[in-house]
Structure 1
Amino acid sequence: MTNQSKKAQAQAQAPVNTIVLGDVEISRVTEWQGAFVPARDLVPDAAAGTWTDNEDWLAPHHLETDTGLAVVALQTWVLRSGGRTILVDTGVGNGRERPGSPLFHRREGDFPARLARLGVRPEDVDVVVNTHLHGDHVGWNTVGVEGEEDQWVPAFPNAQYLIPAEDDTHFGPDNGYGNGLREDDRLIYEDSVAPVHRAGQAVLWQGVHRIDEHLTLESAPGHTPGSSVLRLASGSDRAVFVGDLLHSPVQILDPDSNSCFCLDAAQAAASRRRILERAAAERELLVPAHFGGAGAVEVRREAGGFALGRWAGFDAG
């Protein structure tokens, strides 16, 4: 067996696991996990000591101590709530032109097969939530049309796609695809967002959007203009899916530290503090988009700041 075949087999056997909060079932589907960029480049505002003082638990799932690279995951959260199947963020996708992101450029993976192992067929998905419109959150919104180059259609033909209106404006053509700062932003919108609009499946929302009795979307701007979080409240259980509000657990310890991808630093830090305050007060399980390891963690107040509590029951992979 070739190294490539062994790698593909390992990916196909990667764990997909599930927990239940109240009446909502949550499954984690990891598209990719590994070393990404230098940790201090990913969260440049974090003090060097925040990394070094916590190496014992940051490694190996959040930090490679020998290389200094941050370890992250690309993952989708599959929620079953009120008889519906809901996807939270859709990863990178296959066959995308992403010249500014070598890790994502023309990537090929087995994400549909991983969904299928959960018993989720494309036609079964009722709602797709894009917490924001960065390329690693919208890629599987669409799939290519066989035999047609650069032709994309919604991957989930029966789904309603919930898209933050502010992000749609910022990254859309009327604003020059994010003011033309990155060529990838135009490519992302054209292959992963515009086809959803053309199919009539996009729903733009602002402020607060209630999905069902358990799930509510709320704006949390800063990382992008429309960056959002999804709150879960069912029985006594609480969780908040925070997208890219946090890229690394060090941002819980130092919540004013933004990632290098945050567009409005002050606004992002304010949103992060607000969400962490509420998560600690209401005992919400914090579910970021990119945490490796167990993927989700409780947060608590400690000495005027925040500390990590218990990790969720997901397999660390």
Structure 2
Amino acid sequence: MSIESAPRILLGDVEAIRIVEYRGPFRPAAELVPQAPAALWREHADRLAPDHWDPATDMAVMALQTWVLRSGGRTVVVDTGVGDGRERPDAPQFHRRQGRFLELLAEAGIRPEEVDTVVNTHLHADHVGWNTRWEDGSWVPTFPNAEYLLHAADHTALGPDNDYGQGASTTARLLYEDSIAPVRRAGQLVLWDGRHAIDRDLVLEPAPGHTPGSAVLRLTSGGERAVFVGDLVHSPVQILEPAHNSCFCQDPAAAAASRRRILERAADLRELVFPAHLSGPGATEVRRHGSGFTLAPHTPFETTGGTGRP
């Protein structure tokens, strides 16, 4: 695996730092966004290849990454990846994975002790893994002084009170027990509903569908606007055709409705869109195009290659 540096951008008074653990082929395009016809990928090949799609193999290209925001004296971590040494039998790409997440944070000048807030945009294995780390024979919070924010709907639907999503997968139980339960026992888990202000520039809002409690994080500072959309978008084809869901969306109708609503607002307000797994520059500008959207050329971060296997 090739490791990237930690490029950053200033959005008003907020600094956004990109921590990339992996960037490369993830799964066949037809599996990732099963509703999107092959012709859609080919039609937009000039925008999708090579950063988001490899035409030769028909593999979707994605990133495993975390955003760190410096805002108003606070350090906010948005999503925490897969984690190390996790039992994920239902997800072979994540099963017992080993990575350099903590080293990458250190190289970017970020110490776990200084993190004030962790945002889990939703309760999936590749967004909560580094909530905890293995220490002295047990899982403990990676960020000992942070509050961990999770939408209450995800905790209700995917937590122990609902048999971890009604027993939908073995991984659901395992990820809760190793990545959420230790944080809850430590008194650091904060469940929110409605909307939740982190500070004057950062606000969490629900965007259900991908999971019951999927959320987006809005940034408004110094005339700049951005929205961190988690897994609302896995590939730019879902911006070009927002009705197309990923294979991971639990409520397809709600996911499509949330995606269109968030993208409409991003286009109208000129919000820079940060999907959790967007490769290439990592963010994009969205413009209305007829009844849909198009991508405006925008490269907020330098790109430095990066290939390998997750």
TM-score (norm 2): 0.96
| Equivalent position of 1:281 in the other structure | 268
Shift of 1:55: 1.5
1:116 is the counterpart of 2:106? yes
Letter in 2 for 1:296: A
Measure the CA separation in 2 of the matches of 1:224 and 1:315.
31
Shift of 1:312: 3.2
Higher deviation after alignment, 307-316 or 100-109: 307-316
- Could you list the per-position Cα deviations for residues 232-253 of structure 1 after superposition, in whole angstroms to 9, with x for gaps in the alignment? 0002100000000000000011
Residue of structure 2 aligned with 1:269, choices 256, 274, 283:
256
Measure the CA separation in 1 of the matches of 2:141 and 2:149.
13
Contact 1:86 1:127 in 2 (8 A): yes
> What is the DSSP-based 3-state SS (H/G/I as helix, E as strand, rest coil) of the residue aligned with 2:297?
strand
| Equivalent position of 1:196 in the other structure | 183
> What is the DSSP-based 3-state SS (H/G/I as helix, E as strand, rest coil) of the residue aligned with 1:169?
helix
How many residues align? The count is 304
Measure the CA separation in 1 of the matches of 2:158 and 2:302.
35
| Equivalent position of 2:6 in the other structure | 16
Shift of 1:40: 1.1
- Could you list the per-position Cα deviations for residues 201-229 of structure 1 after superposition, in whole angstroms to 9, with x for gaps in the alignment? 00000110001000000000000000000
Moved over 2 A (4+): none
Map 1:31-50; keep pairs closer than 5 Å. 31-50=21-40
Shift of 1:47: 2.2
Percentage of matched positions with identical amino acids: 62
| Cα RMSD, aligned residues only | 0.9
Measure the CA separation in 1 of the matches of 2:164 and 2:299.
37
Contact 1:292 1:316 in 2 (8 A): no
| Runs of 5+ unmatched residues, structure 1 | 1-6
Shift of 1:292: 0.3
- Could you list the per-position Cα deviations for residues 86-143 of structure 1 after superposition, in whole angstroms to 9, with x for gaps in the alignment? 0000000000001111111101111101101111111010000000010000000000
Map 1:69-148; keep pairs closer than 5 Å. 69-146=59-136, 148=137
Higher deviation after alignment, 295-304 or 263-272: 295-304
| Runs of 5+ unmatched residues, structure 2 | 305-310
Measure the CA separation in 2 of the matches of 1:259 and 1:313.
25
- Could you list the per-position Cα deviations for residues 263-301 of structure 1 after superposition, in whole angstroms to 9, with x for gaps in the alignment? 000000000000000000000000000000001000011
Letter in 2 for 1:299: V
Shift of 1:316: 2.2
1:165 is the counterpart of 2:152? yes
Contact 1:262 1:268 in 2 (8 A): yes
Residue of structure 1 aligned with 2:234, choices 247, 257, 261:
247
Measure the CA separation in 1 of the matches of 2:47 and 2:161.
45
| Equivalent position of 1:4 in the other structure | none
TM-score (norm 1): 0.94
Contact 1:239 1:286 in 2 (8 A): yes
Shift of 1:193: 0.5
> What is the DSSP-based 3-state SS (H/G/I as helix, E as strand, rest coil) of the residue aligned with 1:40?
helix
Higher deviation after alignment, 266-275 or 306-315: 306-315
